[in-house]
A and B are shown apart, each in its own frame.
Chain A
Amino acid sequence: MISLSCTNFLETEPTDFSSPDDFYNTEDQLNQALSGVYSTLAKDGTYARNLPVELALNTDEAFYKKNFTTYTNPAQYNYDAATPIIAACWKTLYEGINRANYLLANAHIPKMDETKRNVIKGEAMFLRAYYYFILVSMWGDVPLILEPTLDGKNVNIPKTPQREIYSFILREMTAAQSMVDKISDIGFSGRASKTTMQGILARVCLKMAGEPLKDVSKYELARAWADSVITSNEHELNADYTQIFKNHSSDQYDIKESMWEVEFWGNNLGNAYRAAGRIGNQFSIRTTHAEMYGYANVGATKKLFQLYTDPNDVRRDWNVAPFKYENNNTLIPVPHGPNDVFVRDAAKWRRDYETVLPRNVDFSPTNFPLLRYADVLLMYAEAENELNGPSDDAHEKLNMVRRRANAYEYVGANKITDKDDFRDTIIDERSRELCFEGLRKFDLIRWGKELFLGEMRLQQIDFENNAPTSPNMKEAHNAYGRVSERHLLFPIPASELSINKAMTQNKGW
């Protein structure tokens, strides 16, 4: 008798949380779990901050503009395996992967419409593959885990060769894009649509065709996926380049151009939701004015400014701030002098266009673009050039992007005849069009380590010889000077390495 009552007495049930064993039972719960997989995109470790800022800067187009000195600042190539920001990115991505693993392992449970179930599964599969794509681009070989983590017993998890991971990504995204909705049916840019997945597939293929795999057979596939986006009739360029980014700040969607965005919302004030990001204040023009605080952590390089060889190109004075605020603490713009080419702030996203008031010093509602139609066009042009040289087709896609920006087109006498020249033009054009969108370092590395290291060296020299003397310029110069071959990959975080004995450190770290 005692034994029976005792057994019950010691069986308490939690009243404050759900356990995964009792979750995933309804369609609503699957959707909540899917939101959980998406929310990985909006963490500080990923796109709320680290991926577009700390882990993407000091390229030939942008640099970290603070002279804040600590031993570790990845934005200034000052880091090692113990650097928390790098560990946070790794951890956040794997958390998202585990959330997707749980969802996919349980997606069969609810009774629901199969098409809807497939959409949920497709998005989860795609996101999981996308997170692996970021991991493999940044770290090379990483553990490929596709089952939910049920306990912490096995801590020794070996790396999977990146070639296998890439083929997993291709396979998975290819399957996913056939399961999900068109963007015109979704109606906003926060969900990964069929064409979004196709566009990202083109990006994956271009990466595979470039370094380190150099699987040039993938150019064909890259062009094919880009082509399927272009021929879907779902997308077109926004006639006003600047409007794309004003939309990001003001909670407007443009599903034609801005195909996939990380969604941020609100200002983390006045309600309990914490859904705001940091794009607005990190990329802002510097001011400490209470209405519109901007840290201006990102500076545009002289090179970027000068890439806009056409004075009519609207992109220059939108992406690179043509003015600063008087005394850094007002909202009175003062134009930069024509030779102030090192000190201009990145200005692609401007806090004036934020409609959520008051503006929080530290948080903003500005969405961050993960894929734009212009990128798909440039990817098409790049792949076509690699396959067939500077064809009319390649030119047309390039010119579509330039035409919209009011820059001169490569037509007639301007037409590029040499394949290498066309590639160089693409390299520049991607910076002109896509600067600050977290792609440059990724692009430079896939185009080859010589290009990447060479550009870093050129920047070092340019800053050393031409930049004005100030602590932040000096720090930027030092940052470029630190770059070496080991920076092609990030170090495996110490938090992983110290416990996972099957793990090995990347070369040079």
Chain B
Amino acid sequence: MKLNVFTGFRLQPKVYKFLLVMKIACFILLTSFLSVSASVYSQKISLHVNQATLKDVLKSLKQQTGYNFLYSTDILKESKPVSINVMNVELTEVLNRCFEDQALDFTIRDKTVVIKEKTKMDHKPLVQMGIQGKVTNLKGEPLEGVSIRLKGTNTYTLTDGEGEYLIKIPDGKGVLIFSYIGFTTREIAINDKKVLNVSLLEAPTKLNEIVVVGYGEVSRKDLTGAVGSVAIEELQKAPVRSFEEALAGRVAGVQVSSQDGQPGSTVDIVIRGANSVSQSNSPLYVIDGFPLEDPDNNMINPSDIASMEILKDASATAIYGARGANGVVIITTKGGVDGKAIISYDGYYGTQEITQRMELMNPYEFIKVLSERSSSTANSMYFAGGKTIDDYKDAVGFDWQDRIFKTAPMQNHNLSIRGGNKQTKYSLSGSIFEQDGVLINSGYNRYQARLRLDQQVNNSLKLGVNINYSGLVNYGNSPGGNYNAALLYQAMAYRPISGNPNVNLEELEFDEEIEDQINNTRFNPVLSAQNELRERINNTLLANGYGEYSFRGFKLRISGGFSKDVRRNNTFNNSKTRSGSPRFPGAATNGVNGSVLYSEISNYVNENTLTWNKKVGKHSFTALGGFTVQGRKGTSFGANAIQVPNDNLGVSGLDEGVPNAITSTSTSSNLASFLGRFNYNYKSKYLLTASFRADGSSKFYKGNKWGYFPSAAVSWRFSQEDFMKPLSFISDAKLRASAGVTGNNRISDFAYMSTIDMSVTTSYPFNNQPSNAAVLGELRNLDLLWESTFQSDLGVDLSFLKDKITFSIDAYSKTTNDLLLYANLPTSLGYSRSFKNIGKIGNKGLEFSIYSMNLKTKNFSWSTNFNISLNRNKVIELAENEEVLLSPVTWHSQFNQLSPYIAKIGMPIGMFYGLIWEGNYQLEDFDGSLLKSTIPTNGDNRQDIRPGDIKYRDITGDGIVNFDDYTIIGNPNPKHFGGLSNNFTYKGFDLNVFFQWSYGNDILNANRYIFEGRGGVIQNYFASYVNRWSVDNPTNEHFRVGGSGPAAYSSKVIEDGSYLRLKTVQFGYSFNPKLIKRLKIDAIRLYASAQNLYTWTSYSGFDPEVSARASALTPGFDWSAYPRARTITFGLNITL
């Protein structure tokens, strides 16, 4: 046996070779850049002149640039005076402006500018009463296809490929209208001119909006990848703590589901379907350039966000290499602005309440079930002194839901000041957010501040910092524990009435009338919830800084960042809680107890990129190269104590108790990466992007550390082609295609190693003394590699009617290979699982997004955003020899060994798995008291089955229902999901209405097992259980009391979880600026917002957006989930 075979390794040939190649490539790239840059006119000009002579202007330009200007003095005599006011622009741009209205033209050769009279259009016959000229953009690039119309007539023409035009004008008078898609229309009076050169300004349309992508930004029309931008102003209308809560339905392809409605509960964001079976499917977050795998997104104040982009296809994500496979969310926070300081206050206050309650049985029905279940218990508890069931006919009981739910306040206050000048821009903001939960003693608070500074040091150097600090406090017990430990169970199952009129159940700490019911509800759930301390405090600091140096077409950007999360979890159970009371048998031996757990996660990153831009005629090139390093460290330390003598000190008194287990962990990982991207753009018509990233990670063993992730995309704006000209209603059209490979490295830092555990819990007590025992923990896999996803995407972007309507459709296909699967092993190896690169998952889907400006008049506007996504997921391969992977869910001891989920080759990952429910056995199924031999049993013994017992389908036909009859009974994945947002404005009023939906997904409503017949002996049930089988009511709906059969998952509790939600509504009024001006206030806006206003669903539980045991393998499980609240707030926004 050789254990130390791997110690001899020195240099990794693969890594070394790669580095060598990178070095050579960098050298070649650099030298070629340098030789080209000599001919680049990249001088930046600042010029402020008013009605100056052209001659003076040219002099000044010569001084600033050192260029030579060649002209004969004669031709300048006729020139018109020039007014120009520019800062830091290219020479050509200034010249274009200068010569716009002149009868002169210029050309630049080497460092010489030659000025001549305008050519007289020799190649075209000169037409009397005509006007000719050239239309360019601000950079002097000719625009082809610009429409030029003589105002008030039908006379019009278009520019040619050189941007030149010629139009007949009858009398030399009138106004020409120059219009071009994506540019502001200009009207210019002719005034007998023969030559009219015009430059058009790009209009701020959707096509020109800047989209932030990995390590750069690009205008939307030049985008080659699939990138969804969140309409951030719409999102910010939602009164929520975190952007995650408002993200659902905003961007096609992004599925957002939260586990439940608890403030701060985990939100799962899955982009284009789950890639990974046992590992995380959450995207990479890039916050102001800082890539983080698992940030606490609650630290970000949603109103600090300036833009948010979701990178979806491989072309967009491959630049993030090994962390890109789950998609990337890029968040950019607001910076300062050039101009006077803008002080803005935004605050709202409102309330939240649950949208519905579960209807429970009244005392009469409750006692009826109890007497059917155990007549002796009912007799002793309720029928003493000759009382009968009829005495409870009109009895009024407690609905404990009234006591644990409340109308909860929520408030948020933001104050920001943003301003600066051309050199310095600053933004300082702070916020206080406080939210009580709708469940008593729960809630979330955030205290946050952010500072961003950007400084233009000189023409070439720019520096900036961005620092955010958030203090987060999340408190309250999670209601979804196991069976009878779950708070919602305790409250809803608690008996509604006592048989003793002198007993007030609400005031009792402990219900002593219930005997011998260790597994039942006896401890006052309200009292317990009020006294439990569950506090999760998180202090996070995220700081970024950068320097950008521009020279000769290059931009070098060096950035660094540091983040630290310091978390502290406090737990304390005093004597008035279920877990700390001496009265509760399960807790008595621990007594008052508590724990504190500290953990720290720190990340640091350094990124260095060099960007090069070059334009040669109509060809433009951008190249990006970079090197980054990132490190992560995590530590935790915690302790707990039992039998704490002092109830009042809380966790501070833990030192007085009996010390119990100690937790202490540490881990770290490093990542080093090289990245590169090349963009080619021909007239924004043909676009090409290729990117590459090499990631080296400490998470893998020597030889496997480096992963390589290439991608490429092409796009064709065919609206620029001649054949599209007749289709003038199509203002823009683009076809995109991309393919690439991305990775997923979400495994623990040392998953490739075997471990030895030596924990006090595995000790062996020789001679009555526990002694340390070393046992084998995880099994190594030195071959472990990145999980890699190959994705191809085909997309079309269309704009109609001058961008009034834009439409995007994307089709994608992803295959994830070498899954990082925590794969099952044959246990005869001595291990049950180990990480392997094995298995394959496929996702295919379609995404549509539409934006439409439906109406726009002076006073009224109406616009719509709509998106819909369809994703189909398929397991292609599992671990060796494995056909199916069953996943149990922990929530109830009788069910914990059963698996309601199956991952089966050829099917989506987490399908529901169970028996097919067929109602109840009816009287005709029996011969006398014995079930007919032709009728299959339900798993109970034939002789024990009674009419009214639950009945399942015997798929195997062997007469007995058991595991062999399990089959697929539902699909938790939606067929489609999406969102619809409408914005209306009328004068000072504005209204946003946002709907979000999910269609075709199933939910396993485990609450119904317990509250529709299978609970403890003395517990309350859902009112629906009134309709249960009896001789008089031979229903197939619910089985008789005691007729539940063996514990089994079945289609009885699989429900359609489709829903349509009126998710966000905001209605606002802005005061007329003129009216408030004398108050020295720029703007005042009053608004009302609502979140989760109304939901249309047939789901019977609290809320259909639920996944109490969320993972790719076990989605859509509902057990005792914290109900989602409806929020209504009123707010005020003042800008000074």
> Footprint of B on A, CB under 8 Å?
2-3, 6-7, 9-12, 14-21, 23, 29, 31-33, 35-36, 38-39, 42, 69-72, 80, 82, 84, 87, 90-91, 94-95, 97-99, 101-102, 105-106, 142-143, 145, 147-153, 155-157, 187-188, 190-191, 251, 253, 263-267, 269-275, 288, 290, 293, 328-329, 358, 360-361, 474, 478, 493, 495-496, 498-501, 503
Contacts and interface: CB of A to CB of B under 8 A. Distances in A.
A17 B777 contact: yes
A16 to B, nearest CB: 5
Contact of A36 (B15, B662, B774): B774
Interface string B775-814: 1110111110000000000000000000000000000000
Contact of B658 (A35, A191, A271, A290): A271
A71 B1048 contact: yes
B660 A152 contact: no
A264 B772 contact: no
Given A10-B698, A275-B763, A94 B897 contact: no
A6 B12 CA distance: 11
Contacts of B697: 10
A28 to B, nearest CB: 9
Given A6-B15, A265-B770, A496 B765 contact: no
Query: Quick one: which of A16, A72, A148 has the most chain B CB within 10 A?
Result: A16
B762 A152 contact: no
Contacts of B629: 9
A17 B16 contact: no
12 contacts: A15-B666, A21-B754, A35-B764, A38-B773, A71-B1046, A148-B1, A155-B826, A188-B767, A270-B643, A271-B660, A273-B765, A501-B881
B30 to A, nearest CB: 15
Interface in B747-774: 749-750, 753-758, 760-774
B12 A7 contact: yes
Contacts of B516: 288, 328-329
B73 interface: no
Contacts of A500: 826, 828, 881
A190 B660 contact: no
Contact of A478 (B586, B705, B773, B941): B941
A375 B888 CA distance: 42
B756 A23 contact: yes
Contact of B763 (A153, A270, A273, A496): A273
B765 A264 contact: yes
B132 interface: no
Interface in B646-673: 658-662, 665-670, 672
Interface stretch (B557-565, B831-839, B970-978): B831-839
B1033 interface: no
A1 to B, nearest CB: 10
B781 A496 contact: no
A503 B758 contact: no
Given A71-B1047, A496-B828, 11 more contacts: A6-B696, A10-B670, A38-B773, A69-B1046, A98-B829, A106-B3, A145-B829, A157-B828, A263-B764, A269-B642, A290-B588
Given A35-B763, A265-B765, A499 B776 contact: no
A7 B776 contact: no
Looking at B6, B780, B882, the one whose CB has the most chain A CB atoms below 10 A away is B780
B515 interface: yes
Given A9-B672, A263-B768, A499-B825, A70 B1046 contact: yes
A90 B515 CA distance: 39
Contacts of B203: none
B765 A263 contact: yes
Nearest to A84: B897
A17 B756 CA distance: 6
Nearest to B584: A290
A499 B753 contact: no
B698 A152 contact: no
Nearest to A8: B670
B1111 interface: no
A69 B940 contact: yes
Contacts of B766: 35, 38, 188, 190-191, 263
B218 interface: no
A501 to B, nearest CB: 5
A501 B881 CA distance: 7
B285 to A, nearest CB: 23
Closest 4 CB pairs of A and B: A98-B830, A265-B765, A35-B773, A500-B826
Contact of B762 (A2, A21, A39): A39
A7 B760 contact: no
B756 A152 contact: no
B770 to A, nearest CB: 5
A290 B591 CA distance: 13
B770 A495 contact: no
Interface string B583-600: 001101110000000000
B1009 to A, nearest CB: 13
A19 B698 contact: no
Nearest to A41: B764
B4 A269 contact: no
Contacts of A42: 764
B781 A274 contact: no
Nearest to B586: A361
Given A6-B15, A16-B665, A36-B774, A495 B827 contact: yes
Given A6-B15, A19-B753, A187 B767 contact: yes
Residue of A80, A90, A496 contacting most chain B CB atoms (<10 Å): A496
B660 A14 contact: no
Nearest to A12: B698
Contacts of B754: 19-21, 150
Contact of B755 (A3, A18, A98, A358): A18
A288 B589 CA distance: 14
Interface in B383-429: none
Nearest to B706: A10
Given A149-B829, A273-B760, A16 B666 contact: yes
B1097 to A, nearest CB: 33
A491 B757 CA distance: 31
Nearest to B17: A3
A105 B836 CA distance: 25
B457 interface: no
Contacts of B882: 498-499
Given A97-B830, A99-B830, A150-B780, A273 B775 contact: no
Nearest to A478: B941
A500 B777 CA distance: 21
A148 B779 CA distance: 11
B826 A35 contact: no
A406 B753 CA distance: 59
Given A9-B670, A10-B697, A12-B669, A157 B826 contact: yes
B27 interface: no
Contacts of A36: 762, 764, 773-776
B768 A251 contact: yes
A266 B963 CA distance: 39
- A12, A38, A84, A143: which has the most chain B beta carbons within 10 Å? A12
Interface string B9-21: 0011001100110
Contacts of A10: 670, 672, 696-698, 705
B1134 to A, nearest CB: 50
Nearest to A497: B826
B836 A152 contact: yes
A12 B749 contact: yes
A18 B660 contact: no
Contacts of A187: 767
Contacts of B753: 14, 19
A261 B1124 CA distance: 54
Interface centre among B16, B774, B824, B939 (most CB of A within 10 A): B774
B894 interface: yes
B1081 interface: no
Nearest to B7: A21
Interface string B866-881: 0000000000000111
